Amino acid sequence: MIIAVNISFLTSSHAAEYSRLLVGMMSRVASRHTEHSFVFIVNKDFRIPITGSNIQYIKAEAGYSRAWRWKWWTAISLPSILKKAGASVLLSASGYGCPKSGIPEAILLPTLEHLHKESLYTRSKAAFVDKNLFASLSRAVSLFVFIQRSAAVVHSYYQIPTENIHTIPIPAHACFQPLAYADRQPVKERYTGGTEYLLYNGPVHAGKNIINLLKAFSVFKKRQKTSMKLVFAKNPEADYSSFTESLKTYVYRNDIVFAGELTTEERAALTGAAYALVYPAIREDIPVYFSEALQCGIPVIVARGSAAEEVAGEACLYANTTEINDMAEKIMLLYKDENRRSALVMQSQDLAIQYAANFEENWFEKYILRKVI
């Protein structure tokens, strides 16, 4: 059987961690099911290697930027590709299926951004996404999300039967591991000249509460008189000019470091050597950054009410990240209380083992193949 995997909405630069997560996840599936062939449908500028004796990929000019291009892609281009490939099943990782495919579809839903009141989507785009997503989810034989909270929202908002919705926890890449003291030093030398640092690992744009993180870091620096730095694992998004402008007059701008574009291995080292991860975003449907930090055994400070509460439980410190002083207090708590920090490190390592154990390697067979064969 030929199984098509549509990840054409992704580029190498867009949602890089999600891209690698998907490719890794589906490559493992393909290696477990050599009796089937897998056809990855990718965008033309997609560069992440996809290898396997039963894997091939098709590069396509997918249209997701405009409504009319989206309609043309799902109604004309994608059905044509699926027909030429002889696909028997479609797994779409964008949340949107193909209404004219004529074959069974499964949906992997990465985000519910369009439902948020403060969505980064325009009102018209959110409405368009909502309408088309409902049609796709209603047709799917199985729907996959990464956290239970997303499953509950999909069930209540779209009225999708709970038996069709499956939560698949995704452990971090195997290269995210605790670093020994001697191994941490070269990493710190590379990025901060040997100074301890807090890490923000994720997209740098308006929806992630970055400005409040800067303000909380200022309070922390002013009160503690420390040389600690704040490292961003990514550069700011091109359209986040307000952040770039604010840095020009930021008092502690010399203590802000941008690591730039990193490989997975480099990001793993940067995470493992960090004093703590601070992740202030409230909206997060893919808890990959939390699981990476937990697997590296570093303390994590996250937004109260975020997906981390479901994933991490008591292994994290939670702050009201809309309140600058509360976020600063949590950073200071880690800095001043080494016993608390050590306890969080132990809890995070235990949780990472449990989280990885909960991943079902047979999810594809259990929730897709058995429904279509």
Residue 12 has a pLDDT of 46
Supply the pTM of this predicted model. 0.84
8 A C-beta contact, residue 286 and residue 312: no
Residue 175 belongs to some domain of the structure: no
Closest CA to 168 of 142, 148, 149, 141: 148
Same domain assignment for residues 48 and 191: no
pLDDT at 90: 94
Same domain, 237 and 210: yes
Q: What does the DSSP 8-state code read for residue 105?
A: E
| Angle 349-351-354 from CA coordinates, rounded to 5° | 115
Indicate whether 155 and 127 sit together in one domain: yes
Structural domain range at position 364: 2-169+359-372
Sign of CA dihedral 254, 260, 266, 272: positive
Which SS3 state, helix, strand or coil, does residue 6 take?
strand
Compute the chain's Rg from CA coordinates: 21
Output the pLDDT for position 63: 66
Which pLDDT does position 120 carry in this prediction? 53
Please check whether residue 171 is in contact with residue 355, taking contact to mean a CB–CB distance below 8 angstroms. Answer: yes
pLDDT of 142 reads: 93
Tokens of 64: 């997701």
Nearest to 63 by CA among 159, 128, 139: 128
- Could you tell me which of 158, 85, 178 has the C-alpha nearest to residue 115? 158
147 and 272 in a common domain:
no
Dihedral Cα 15, 110, 327, 312, nearest 10 deg:
-120
Neighbour order of strands in the sheet with 89-92: 55-60, 37-43, 2-6, 89-92, 105-108, 142-145, 165-167
Same domain, 102 and 251: no
Alpha-carbon distance 52 to 55, whole Å? 5
> Same structural domain for residues 32 and 150?
yes
Tokens of 81: 């590709």
- Residues 125 and 203 grouped into a single domain: no
> Which residue, 228, 231, 229, 227, is CA-closest to 204?
231
| Distance from C-alpha of 104 to C-alpha of 99, rounded to nearest angstrom | 10
174 inside domain: no
Q: Which residues of the chain have pLDDT under 50?
A: 12-14, 119
| Strand ranges across the sheet with 317-319 | 256-258, 229-232, 197-200, 276-279, 300-303, 317-319
Question: Does 364 lie in the same domain as 299?
Answer: no
Q: Which of 55, 138, 102, 140 is nearest to 371 (CA)?
A: 140
C-alpha–C-alpha distance, residues 43 and 141, integer Å? 25
Structure token pair of residue 184: 């941490």
The domain total for the chain is: 2
- Is residue 137 in a domain? yes
Whole-number pLDDT of residue 121? 58
Q: What φ, ψ does residue 300 adopt, rounded to 5°?
A: -130, 130
* Same structural domain, 38 and 103: yes
Q: Check: CB of residue 100 under 8 Å from CB of residue 81.
A: no
Domain presence at residue 139: yes
In contact, 224 and 332? CB cutoff 8 Å: yes
Per-residue model confidence (pLDDT) at position 13: 47
Distance (Å, rounded) from C-alpha 243 to C-alpha 264? 25
In a domain, 6, yes or no: yes
CATH code, domain with 65: 3.40.50.2000
Is residue 220 located within the same domain as residue 364?
no
Give the pLDDT confidence of 85-105 residue by residue, as tens digits: 999 999 998 777 888 888 999
CA distances from 222 to 182, 215, 217, 325, 362 (A): 30, 11, 9, 12, 51
Does 135 fall in a domain? yes
Q: What is the pLDDT of residue 14?
A: 47
| Residue-level length of the chain | 373
Both 198 and 152 in one domain: the answer is no
Query: Is the Cβ–Cβ distance between 328 and 219 less than 8 Å?
Result: yes
Element (H, E) at 92: strand 89-92
The pLDDT tens digits for 138-195 are 889 999 988 888 899 889 988 999 999 998 877 788 899 999 999 999 999 999 999 9
Task: Determine, yes or no, domain membership for 176.
Answer: no
185 shares its domain with 58 = no
Calpha distance 110→93 (Å, rounded)? 7
- How much is the pLDDT for 113? 63
- What pLDDT score was predicted for residue 241? 81
pLDDT of 115:
62
